[in-house]
Amino acid sequence: MSRRAEKIIILVSALAAVLLFAFFLKDILVPFVKLEMKHDVDGARELLRSKGVLGFFAVALVEALQMVVVFIPAEFIQISSGLSYPFYIALILCDIGVCLGATIIFVLVRAFRFRNEAYERRKKAIDMIAEAEQGKESHKSTVLFMLLLFIMPLIPFGAICYYGSSTRIKYHKYIATVAGGVVPSIVTSNLMGTAAKAFIRNAMPLWLLILIIVLLAGLLFAALAFFINKFFLKQHDGTPDSPVYALLFRLADIAWKRSSKLHVDNAKLNDVAAPYIMLVNHQSFRDFYYSKQFDTRQNPAYVANEYYLYHNGFLRRLSKKMGLIPKKLFTVDIVTVAGVFRMLKKGYPVIIFPEGRLSVDGTTNPIVEPGAAFYKKLGVPLVLSSIRGAYFAKPKWRKKFFRSDIYLTVERVIREDELAAFDDAELNDLISRQLFIDASADNDRAYRRSCKAAGLDNILYRCIDCGALYTTKGVGNDLRCSACGSVHHIDEYYRFTGTPGSIPEYYRRIAELERPELEQLDLETEVDVKIFDKNVKLRRREKGVCTLTPEGFSYRPDLSKGTDPVSNADAAENGGTGFFKPISQLPALPFSCAEEFETYNDNELYYFYPRTNRKQAVRWALLADLLRERYDQNERERNET
């Protein structure tokens, strides 16, 4: 068929549809609504009787022709028919009209190879949804896909019928699919019309009309979600291609894209195909969003803190659907190993933050769980990448987010054969050096804010001028000591104007003040405790005492104050059992600023909340790091001798 003939058919169809709409609006719908607004029910009924079968024909023909033309919305005529006729009659008329239009489209496509330009403009949206079907062309999959499209909003019935007619589906299956697939949408629209009619008669308050419309729309979307999950995206459950994963990152994109300017240098990744392992430094909570921008070709799986993924049932279900890999921090976890292998086998990249915790001062944390031997066994490329700029945007100690430039760089790609050439110590050293950054040294962005020091005392807890503990306070752009009166001012580049020159230098000075006290260290504090079982479900609460000495970390419950079981576990059996972890088994004490510090013992997760001065949480973490650093140094020296 020539392009001119196609345009003539579209023009004639559109003209006919417009004329019928005009007839329907002028002679039936408008007078009917006016009569109903006047509460003239008898007059409205008489109008419909006077039109008789002609009114029925108008509904069916307009429904059919709007499908052929594609761009005329079906919802209008469906709601109008619900206003004009009893529900069951409106439903039948609309369904007949849809089947008539579907048949016309089938004949045009199959017999005349007709192409509708309005449909072609919408075909891209259908093709994007069709990717979930992985190119299947069986009659069964075509039927399911058409049923899915019929309950999706914003896709015209006509476009769906053009799609179905272009496949190999037989007419009897095609028309049966159309007749049944449009029912949910027609029912929803007709019920909206019926509800609107009741409102016009003043038989229904406005709030109830709105509630009905919202509920009907909600039911349609619920049916859509169920259908998508049941028949189309089920195979993606538990992977980064799941709809839940896509929704999370879409929301993150909406919320965060404009608040940061991303600069991506991933040229070294261009010729690297998934699966691969990517290691990234960890500066802020948003790093999972930033790191996804390294490679937009395929969604990565993430290794993440088990507590954040599993500590309630809702998050557990979401995490599993998204294919996130849980990790018990600083604990050997076979579940994590199995999860990484599983995602690589499925062909996904896996992103790991090997520090295991957010940067405290803007420098990369020591990697206390070296993974070289593990990475070499995986048999995939190892990609080393860095995130710069995220620390000053939102460090763990500050509540406010500052707009920043975020620099994402693929630093190095190590192929499988190269990995085999490294011994474990060399590879671990390379990873540490490649991922190390100093946010203060890297920063060239001016932060002209008046609250840059707010919360800084949550990590810089000790005055380096007088040595006093917990006397510092971030006020405006100054870190002030209430004991000696010293003031350290932060300039627009987030550096101190005097000595020391930066946040990490100040933090190192605090560490130097703590080192001489390590040998006689006997730190103790009363704590409130939350204890989570191996499935990260809150098991009990209790009170107790934590102690840190050169030998290790210990916890003992305060039995005089009892335990508070929060599950069916027997408190007498499971409570009241303290523990001791030698420094050799204490890689680190993760913490939240001015809140808590934490560790695992026998697969149970303990959250310790100091009962006095929660700012001390950072000190426990720093002292544990210093003790572990000293232990590792002694071990290296012992091995060398």
pLDDT tens digits along 574-626: 445 799 999 999 999 999 999 999 999 988 999 999 999 999 999 999 999 99
Give me the count of residues in the chain. 641
pLDDT of residue 332: 84
Report phi then psi at 230, rounded to 5: -75, -40
When pLDDT is cut at 50, 70 and 90, the band that residue 345 belongs to is very high
Give me the mean pLDDT over the 211-238 stretch.
60
pLDDT of residue 89: 77
pLDDT tens digits along 380-415: 999 999 999 999 999 999 999 999 999 999 999 999
Q: 607: closest CA among 505, 511, 539, 535? A: 539
pLDDT of residue 572: 42
pLDDT of residue 378: 95
pLDDT of residue 137: 43
Structure tokens at 105: 């489209």
Structure tokens at 259: 């608040």
- DSSP states along 360-375: SSSBPPP-SS--HHHH
279 contacts: CB under 8 Å, gap ≥ 6: 352, 353, 354, 382, 383, 384, 385, 431, 435
Tokens 């007078």 sit on residue: 31
User: Does residue 227 have a pLDDT over 80?
Assistant: no
Give me the mean pLDDT over the 488-503 stretch.
96
Which helix (H) or strand (E) segment holds residue 601: the answer is strand 596-601
DSSP 257: G
Peptide bond into 504 cis (omega under 30): no
Is residue 302 helix, strand or coil? Answer: strand
User: Does residue 140 have a pLDDT over 60?
Assistant: no
Which helix (H) or strand (E) segment holds residue 45: the answer is helix 41-51
Give me the mean pLDDT over the 346-367 stretch.
96
HSE-up (13 A, CA, CB side) for residue 329? 25
Q: 362: closest CA among 235, 507, 244? A: 507
Distance CA 116, CA 158 (A): 10
Q: Is the CB of residue 185 less than 8 Å from the CB of residue 155?
A: no
User: Does residue 47 have a pLDDT over 70?
Assistant: no
Distance CA 372, CA 353 (A): 14
pLDDT of residue 477: 97
Is residue 548 helix, strand or coil? Answer: strand
- How much of the chain exceeds pLDDT 90, in percent? 52
Average pLDDT, the chain: 82
HSE-up (13 A, CA, CB side) for residue 8? 5
Is residue 305 helix, strand or coil? Answer: strand
Least confident of 188-197, 486-495, 552-561: 188-197
| Number of neighbours of residue 433 by Cβ within 10 angstroms | 11
Q: Is the CB of residue 495 less than 8 Å from the CB of residue 502?
A: yes
pLDDT of residue 16: 61
Overall pTM surpassing 0.85 (yes/no): no
User: Does residue 323 have a pLDDT over 50?
Assistant: yes
pLDDT of residue 317: 87
Least confident of 130-139, 409-418, 499-508: 130-139
417 contacts: CB under 8 Å, gap ≥ 6: none
Question: Distance between alpha carbon 22 and the CA centroid of its chain, in Å?
Answer: 47
User: Does residue 436 have a pLDDT over 70?
Assistant: yes
Sheet holding 350-352, edge to edge: 260-265, 404-414, 382-388, 277-280, 350-352, 301-305, 325-327
- DSSP states along 500-521: S-SHHHHHHHHHHHHGGGSTT-
Distance CA 58, CA 97 (A): 9
pLDDT tens digits along 174-222: 888 888 877 777 676 656 655 655 555 555 565 565 566 566 556 655 6
Q: Is the CB of residue 322 less than 8 Å from the CB of residue 244?
A: yes
pLDDT tens digits along 269-292: 999 999 999 999 999 999 999 999
Q: Return the higher-pLDDT residue of 315 and 75.
A: 315
Pairing label, strands 350-352, 604-610: unpaired
Least confident of 7-16, 301-310, 516-525, 551-560: 7-16
Q: Return the higher-pLDDT residue of 299 and 150.
A: 299
User: Does residue 495 have a pLDDT over 70?
Assistant: yes
Q: Which own/partner contact pairs does 225-231 have at CB distance under 8 Å and 24+ positions apart?
A: 227/147, 227/148, 227/151, 228/132, 228/148, 231/144, 231/148
Domains and CATH numbers, the chain: 3-230 (no CATH), 243-442 (3.40.1130.10), 456-515 (no CATH), 523-640 (2.30.29.30)
Instruction: Name residue 351's beta-bridge partners.
Output: 278, 302
Is 115 buried (19+), middle (13-18) or exposed (0-12) by CB count in 10 A? middle
When pLDDT is cut at 50, 70 and 90, the band that residue 254 belongs to is confident
Tokens 């460090």 sit on residue: 395
Distance CA 334, CA 349 (A): 19
pLDDT of residue 107: 82
Least confident of 22-31, 94-103, 393-402, 535-544: 22-31
Least confident of 34-38, 92-96, 234-238, 626-630: 34-38
User: Does residue 17 have a pLDDT over 80?
Assistant: no
Please list the helix, strand and coil fractions of the chain in percent, rounded to the nearest 5, in that order: 55, 15, 30
